[in-house]
Amino acid sequence: MYLSKLFAKTRKQVSKDEKSINAQFLERAGFISKEMAGVYNYLPLGFMMLEKIIKIIREEMNVIGGQEILMPTLTSIKSYKQTKRDKLDILFRTKLHSGSEYILNQSHEEVITPLVKQFVHSYKDLPVYIYQIQTKFRNEPRARSGLLRGREFLMKDLYSFHVDEKDLDEYYKKVQKVYKEIFDRIGIGKDTHLVYASGGSFSKFSHEFQTLCETGEDEIYLCNSCKIGVNKEIINEQKVCPECGNNKLVVKKAIEVGNIFKLKTKFSDAFELTYKDKDGKDKPVVMGCYGIGPSRIMGTIVEVFHDKAGMILPESVAPYKNHIVILGSRNQEAGIRKIIDKLGGEDNCLIDDREISAGQKFADADLMGMPYRVVISDKTLKKNSVEIKKRSEDKTELVKINKL
């Protein structure tokens, strides 16, 4: 992609009310544009990054047998009344012309459970794992953290359906493993920890995945030996590490990037989702649910990986691997074209061909955060070379074009 053709431009300033690091850098770099607090447009580079995150999540969901569907955003309040969640204050409510009330979904248990009831009747139909990647809505009182706390945001939600708790427990462990794999591939694995959280009314614990970050809104208590955490909300009932019993837990700021729950029969009871076992007896289906927020992960990556000059994006999710800075070197088009092709062509290269100063080009390359900066100038071309610098490092290296 040529920067001269990209419709979204970098900006020097963003509005003063944008306090979070992730929104400041992503907006200045032309990745996103604010619609209102907690609601953003994803521009070409931002959308590419989001899609790369989603692709990794989707691949890993398919590894554990997930079948992808797409559920509606609008759901009748009647379903929420059935699960007694119609009074949640974060629900966005709306009405049809007829006056009947609808919800913009903040989660999809009220949709998936009746949906699965249409197709699951016997133990032979179980287990089944269904997920979607969809827009969710939450009427947040405060939305000042950029992509970290959206009123409208993307969510991958997986739901699992089992004959009994033993089967749920086994799958729940599998999801924990695959979540770790997802965070590793996205580049935040080293900083992301499994954290014990309250299980609500239906289970002793649920689990969160929390990424350590000074700007995080959450506080966790981390075990230094097994790197497992306890959420602040349950630290009074769980004062030691649940894995090794260590009682010296260290408090850390973190961002919640995923959560997994054993719903057991809470929703299957509400919607009478049952199956016939081998003896023809009716039994409630046992459920689990597993969330990851791709848009929140995008914000988290920027919170974790940046310096004063801008973002430092991991290669697996950066919109482009290379940021090519062309300086002077007119009449060298064929030579430049050859270099770009060697570096994987326009699919792998963001190419700064704009008629602006070298200083501005370097500043934008730092701001936008692609993993490698490649400078092509008269000086480098004379030596049949390009100058390469990793965004995460200071040193530059002159590399012969035929060695690229």
Q: Give CA–CA dist 352/355, Å, rounded.
A: 9
Nearer to Zn ion, 168 or 223 (CB): 223
Contact between residue 25 and residue 310 where contact means Cβ atoms under 8 Å apart: yes
Nearer to Zn ion, 130 or 223 (CB): 223
Residue with tokens 């920067």: 3
Query: Beta 282-284 vs 274-276: how paired, if at all?
Result: antiparallel
Residue ranges that bind Zn ion, judged by CB under 5 A? 223, 225-226, 241, 243-244, 246
Closest contact distance (angstroms) between CB of 262 and Zn ion is: 22
Nearer to Zn ion, 148 or 194 (CB): 194
Nearer to Zn ion, 193 or 323 (CB): 193
Q: Give CA–CA dist 6/46, Å, rounded.
A: 12
For residue 25, the surrounding DSSP H or E stretch is: helix 21-28
Residue with tokens 């979904």: 105
Closest contact distance (angstroms) between CB of 240 and Zn ion is: 8
Query: Beta 229-231 vs 192-198: how paired, if at all?
Result: parallel
Closest contact distance (angstroms) between CB of 249 and Zn ion is: 8
Nearer to Zn ion, 229 or 293 (CB): 229
Closest contact distance (angstroms) between CB of 226 and Zn ion is: 4
Nearer to Zn ion, 250 or 398 (CB): 250
User: H helices of 187-318, where?
Assistant: 266-270, 294-304
Nearby residues of 183 by Cβ (< 8 Å), 6 or more positions away: 189, 192, 209, 211, 257, 258
Length of the chain, in residues:
404
Closest contact distance (angstroms) between CB of 300 and Zn ion is: 24
Nearer to Zn ion, 194 or 223 (CB): 223
Burial pattern 354-393, b for ≥16 Cβ within 10 A else e, equals beeeeeebbbbbbbbbbbbbbbbbeebbeeebbbbbebee
Q: How far apart are the first and last CA of the chain?
A: 19
Nearer to Zn ion, 248 or 390 (CB): 248
- For residue 65, is it left (φ>0), alpha (ψ between -120 and 50) or beta? left
Q: Give CA–CA dist 272/102, Å, rounded.
A: 22
Closest contact distance (angstroms) between CB of 170 and Zn ion is: 23
Q: Give CA–CA dist 300/212, Å, rounded.
A: 10
Nearer to Zn ion, 19 or 227 (CB): 227
Closest contact distance (angstroms) between CB of 207 and Zn ion is: 15
Nearer to Zn ion, 90 or 244 (CB): 244
- Bridge partners, residue 33, by sequence: 41
Closest contact distance (angstroms) between CB of 176 and Zn ion is: 16
Chain-centroid distance, C-alpha 290: 13
Nearer to Zn ion, 128 or 226 (CB): 226
Query: Beta 152-162 vs 128-137: how paired, if at all?
Result: antiparallel
Tokens encoding 275: 């199956």
Closest contact distance (angstroms) between CB of 181 and Zn ion is: 22
Nearby residues of 56 by Cβ (< 8 Å), 6 or more positions away: 182, 185, 186, 316, 317
Closest contact distance (angstroms) between CB of 208 and Zn ion is: 16
Single out the residue of 52, 17, 48, 56 nearest to residue 32, CA to CA.
48
Closest contact distance (angstroms) between CB of 55 and Zn ion is: 34
